[in-house]
Every structure is written in C-alpha cells, then in structure tokens.
Amino acid sequence: MPTTTAQQGSFRALRDDLQTALLASFPEHVARIDWSRARIAAHQQHRLSALLAHAVEHSRFHARRLRGIDTDAVDARDLTQLPVMTKSDMMTELDDVFTDRRLNRCTAERALAGAGPEPATVLGSYLALTSGGSSGQRGVFMLDVPAAVQFFGTLVRGLLVRLEAMGGPPPGGLPIAMVAAGSPVHATGIAAPLCEGDTALPFRFLSVPVTQPLPEIVDRLNALQAPALYGYPSVLARLARERRAGRLRIAPMMVTSTSETCTPELRAAISEGFGAPLIDSFGSSEGLVGASEPDADVITFAEDGCIIELVDEEYRAVPPGTPCAAVLVTNLGNRLQPLIRYELTDTFVQQPAAAGHGHLRARVQGRSDDNFRYGAVTIHPLVIRSVLVRSPDVLEYQVRQTTSGIDVRAVAERTLDVESLQAQLGAALARAGLANPDITVRREPNLARDPRTGKLRRFVPRR
C-alpha cells in the first residue's frame, strides 16, 4: 500500500512538532544522566502515580486488571501487587489498552501497512511502530509526542554529551550512517526521517538499509563518508572485515551497536576492524533504553524513563549478579499505550552501582527464550555459539532447533568444513546433556532478515 500525500503531510507536521519538543528537552535529558538513586526514585514515584491514575481512568484493559488495587498507595520500589502484562495480553486486547478511544488495532495495522518512506502516523498525532516480527509475535506500539520525546531523547542523550565534548556539532548536524532497518515502522528505521526537514537538530541519521546486499551497503557507506556509524552488531562485524580487506573505505570516529546482543566475539571483531570507540546501546520499542560507556560491556539503563524489574521464571526479583529470566518494564512516559510491568524476555545480569549516578547497570546476555529445550534437557545458546565463533570462516549464522538436534545455516567467506563443524557441534551438545544429537550444517550465500526490522534471530527454538 503506497504512502499517500495526506499521510506524508501528516507525518511531516508531526515530525516538526517532535523536533521542536526534542530540542527543548535535551538539556533536561542530559541532566538526568547524573541523577542520584534518590532523585530517580522520587521521579519514578511521581510519574508512576500519575500513570496508574490515567490508565485506570482511560484504559479499559488496565481498569479491569487493576480493579480492587489502591493505585494511590502503590510504591514504585515494589510493584508486586500489580499484574504482569505480556505481549500476548497486550496484542489480544490492544483496542482496550489504548487510552485514546479513537484508536484500535485495525487503524494501527492499516497505518503500518501503508508506511513507505514516511513513517506510519495515526490521527495526525501519533507514531506507529512494530517490533518482534522476526522472533515471534509482533508487537504494535503507538507513541504520542511526549512518549516519543522520552524515548528518542533518552536514546541520543549520550551522543549529545559526546558532541559537546568534541566542541559541538558541525554545521548542519553530525552525519550518522544508520545500518539498520530500512522501513520506518521499526525504531531504527524511523531515525533518518525524523531528522529530515529544516531542523536545528545537532545530528542527522542517514539510512543504510541492512536488508541490502553487503556490497551495496559498502558502496553506500563509502559514498556517505559519515563520521559516525550505528548498526546491528552482526552486520558491523562483517563491515569491519570489509574494512580490513580494503573494500570499505571509511574511518568513523565513533561506532555504536544497537538492536542485537553485542557478544564478546562481535565486540572484538568490530573494535579491531574499525579502531574506533565502540558504544553498545539498548533500545526497545517498549521504551526501555540504555547505553554503555565507550568500549565497555555494561549498559546503563535510563530509569528516569522506566521502572525496571529483573525477575526469575516466577516473576520474583533476582539479586545482583544473577541472570534474570525476564525484565518487567513500566514505561513512565507513554500514557497513550500504558505498559505496566510489561514482560521482555531478555536476560540481564545486574552489576554494582556506579559512583556518579543511580541508574541500573547490567550486562545483557540475550533473550531468555532463545534456550533450546529437549524434554528435561535445556541447551543454552552459548553452548552452540562457542563452537561457531571459533570457526574463522563463519561470518554469520542462524541456528534452528529440531526434534533431536539443530539445523545450522552459515554464511562463510571461503570453503566451510561442514563435517568438522558438525562433529564439533555434536560433541558440544552431547557434553551439555543432549544424547546422540542430530546436527545439520548448510552453507548459505545470505541469511534472510526480517524485511521491515532488518533483524535476524540467531537462535530459533522449536515451538
């Protein structure tokens, strides 16, 4: 469905409003980076009370779920009396989740289907995003201007600090090549169109769709010569190899990974290939945002935007240093589509607090639902990944669980010793407890990414 002129005009008016609001919000967002734990807690309590009151009054979904709970007495430090909200809950009852009764799932889906170069807008006031299509059930998310300012402002505030440390942005804003989703229905794909127009923003994201063939991505980057580079770490690692080979001729002063887990192996490949500081960022359409310091593997999460709970399979809090089974997110900035104790199936490990601020610090280990379960035997992705990353010819891979083993599809630069790789994988799975595993390895020229998000799910459990 092509984008209409009316849709384009609607987005551009919304974009201009959002740019104005973002510019005004930047000083506050930067100031929040150094907030103490006490300052964050007070802010969370204030925003939570307002969010719960608004959700009960305007969202039929939350009015039903929170009936009988004294929401005025809910302590932001302990949300256990509130029910957990899953993606399935949200999508099944999306019409009732929205607090604007003019919105419904059909309207949102129609806007997403009609998005082209311009992002999807609804009622001239709201941005529509989607996520998760490559990894299971899709999620649909609507943002009004305040929610979008909170989300995007938090995502770029570290960049703002680095720009000021460099003496300020260049005229016209710092050009940043974004090797990510080509479609603006995904958060990484909306960055470029949000920076268009007559804007005073201190940066400009330039789209480089990750779904293009690698040679085309290289050509586009060579033409742009952007001094900053953002992208999915799996693709950044391949681009680092292209740079070492002399085909990619860029020298970014900073590199940022986003949207996928940046494993130690990917981190090493990217750093070695580009020789520039690497920042690992975390941004979910649900509103949870975080970023690491340059060349660090611990992410600091913006708790001024979300209340974050790290929990086990029974939704009980896990102590620092213990991998969680899920992350429960309460988005304090989105009153249009309230997400209250919303479950993300990511595995975080909380790290010690920092001396300079009170925000949560954690290492991200990936998705907890990537585990492969064979009856009583559970295989963690690390068992498989540790074999694949030791094979120098494997550039990218996807692993699918089968009834009694795994099916591996690998992109290789040169010849691939399939028999040796199968033997190593079989031995690793056997050591992990899976008797007589059935291993298939196939060489592929490319791995199909989700056409909208550009993401590739590395481990696909059998359902």
Burial 328-354 (b: 16+ CB within 10 A, else e): bbbbbbbbbbbbbbbbbbbbbbbbeee
The whole-angstrom separation of Cα 43 and Cα 38 is 9
Domain ranges in the chain are 5-365, 371-460
Q: What is the mean pLDDT of residues 142-150?
A: 96
Whether residue 66 has pLDDT greater than 90: yes
- Cα–Cα–Cα angle for 225, 232, 238, rounded to 5 degrees: 70
- Residue with the larger pLDDT of the pair 358 and 460: 358
* pLDDT computed for residue 117 by the predictor: 84
- Identical topology for domains 5-365 and 371-460: no
Say which residue the tokens 């939350």 belong to: 62
DSSP 188-242: TTSHHHHT-SS---SEEEEEEETTS-HHHHHHHHHHH--SEEEE-HHHHHHHHHH
> Percent of the chain beyond pLDDT 90?
73
Torsion angle (degrees, nearest 10) of CA 358, 363, 366, 371: -110
Pair 248, 218: CB distance under 8 Å: yes
Q: Which fold has domain 5-365?
A: Rossmann fold (3.40.50)
Query: What number of other Cβ atoms are within 10 A of residue 25's Cβ?
Result: 17
Whether residue 136 has pLDDT greater than 70: no
Which residues on neighbouring strands pair with residue 281, listed in sequence order? 291
Query: What number of other Cβ atoms are within 10 A of residue 15's Cβ?
Result: 21
Whether residue 5 has pLDDT greater than 70: no
Handedness of CA 143, 149, 154, 157 (dihedral sign): positive
Handedness of CA 448, 454, 460, 463 (dihedral sign): negative
Whether residue 187 has pLDDT greater than 90: no
Q: What is the mean pLDDT of residues 45-72?
A: 97
Candidates 447, 460, 452; CA nearest to 213 is 447
Handedness of CA 197, 201, 202, 208 (dihedral sign): negative
Whether residue 2 has pLDDT greater than 50: no
Q: What is the mean pLDDT of residues 111-138?
A: 81
**pTM for the full predicted model:** 0.86
Burial 123-145 (b: 16+ CB within 10 A, else e): eebbbbbbbbbbbbebbbbbbbb
Candidates 156, 161, 149; CA nearest to 176 is 156
Candidates 200, 194, 154; CA nearest to 173 is 200
Candidates 450, 451, 388, 361; CA nearest to 136 is 450
Stretch among 86-100, 117-131, 309-323 having the lowest mean pLDDT: 117-131
DSSP state of 102: T
Candidates 48, 66, 47, 70; CA nearest to 56 is 66
Q: Which CATH architecture has domain 371-460?
A: 2-Layer Sandwich (3.30)
For residue 328, give the 3-state DSSP assignment: strand
